[in-house]
Structure 1
Amino acid sequence: MLLPSPAPAPALRSVLAALGSPTAVSEARTPALRSHQGPLSPELPLPVHVWDVREPAAPPAPAPRTRLTAWRFLIRGTERAVAAGDAVLTPDGWSFSHFFEGPYLAATERALAQAESLPGTYQPRLISVPDLYMLTLWLHGDTAADGADGVPDPSDLLIPLAPAPPGIASHRPYRVADLLPVLTLRLAPAAPLFGSTAPAA
């Protein structure tokens, strides 16, 4: 079962205002959103965190820290999500950023459906690993936690969204403790050939 953390009210209001703006909708690079007939509603807010696995955690944290960058809402039409909308924190507070669609939209819905069928109760979040062009659904075990804070617990689950980096199976649940070493290895700087990069004299 999933227990989403509530989004900040100003973040939700900013997305609702954008949905109510013909200009914001018509200028969005989202054909499905522009062509949709009928009501649209932002649902299932997901905090989006950036996670740099190369950044060591401060003890006693078990994993690198995450940094909240946005709240993402699935924009649902009559039968399915037709787009997603992000709200970001600015010096003036939470503000609408943009609408978008693409493969990660369907992958997010699929991963959420997978998560609902898993045993246990989780708080859904998203983690972006920019250097790997990777987005994953983060199932946090502490459902009472503030969705804007916290670090991945070793027992938390990660479901990489498709398309996932080569060698990492999309839509397969991984424990953080199992996937973290793989990501760390992927992001480790390559060792110089023959042990040195110094030019010959």
Structure 2
Amino acid sequence: MVLRVPETPEHARAAVRAVLDAPHRRPAPTQAGTDEPDAPGSPDADTHAPFSAVCPHRMFEIDLTDLAEGRGLDTARPVGWRWLVHDGAHTIGAVEVADVGGGHPVARFTEGPFTTCTDAAVATVRTLPQIERGYYELRLLHIPGLYTVALWLADLVGWQDLLVPLAPAPPGVQPLRPYPAEELAALLGSRGRRLAPTAPQP
């Protein structure tokens, strides 16, 4: 399987470097060790000892209303970029770079289960025999209205997109299970219809 990453913009890479270079904005090392950081494997990865910013991928958001009304991933909008932050061989967080327009990105270091679960999600999809010969773009999909984040494998040859929910997942959704995108969108849309406020009648 080929996981494609579009060329990352220079302003986003500069924002990542600024976060990792700022002592008050970056994490403290977990421990002093001799392990070398993982090779980024991408010309767009930035390394700052002892941290490595690796695996850049675009972030997308979709509104709960769009899912509830069955419009699916076509309405997902790009909102920025995310790099995983490694301390040695371990993911300890991520740097998210939000595109706010005007060429002035907003970058922040984030932690939590959605970040650390990403490695497990990538490892899961790499083992799937049905996509060994596929060609996918690695993305992240955020559904704020459901507090849901999923790894999004966008099929670049038009067969079938996959969504891999990260833990914690909403009730009825199995984390780290690769879902056909339409199946998971329908499942989340059904939940969204139960949660979305009812529009007032004319």
TM-score w.r.t. length of structure 2: 0.76
- Counterpart of 1:181, as a letter, is A
- Secondary structure (helix, strand or coil) at the match of 1:19 reads helix
RMSD: 2.7
How many residues are matched?
A: 174
Identity %: 32
For structure 1, the residue ranges without an aligned partner over 5 or more in a row are 26-32, 144-152
Counterpart of 1:123 in 2: which secondary structure? strand
**What do the CA deviations read for 1:78-116 (whole angstroms, capped 9, x no partner)?**
212221001112333142421011111221111011122
- Equivalent residue for 1:10? 11
TM-score by length of 1: 0.76
Measured in 1, the distance between the counterparts of 2:72 and 2:142 equals 18
**Distance in 2 of aligned mates of 1:78 and 1:182:** 38
Distance (whole Å) between structure 1 residues aligned to residue 109 and residue 192 of structure 2: 30
Q: Deviations along 1:96-155, whole A, 9 cap, x unmatched?
A: 421011111221111011122222231110111111110000001117xxxxxxxxx782
Gaps of 5+ in 2: 33-48
For the pair shown, the structure with the greater C-alpha radius of gyration is: 1
- Find out whether 1:34 has 2:28 as its counterpart: yes
**1:187 has 2:199 as partner:** no
**Retained in 2: the 8 A contact 1:50–1:130?**
yes
Q: 1:139 to 1:177 in 2, by over 3 A?
A: same
User: Using the alignment, how far apart are the partners of 1:4 and 1:106 within structure 2?
Assistant: 20
Q: CA deviation at 1:182?
A: 1.0
Cα offsets for 1:16-52 (capped at 9, x unmatched): 1221122322xxxxxxx21345421211111110012
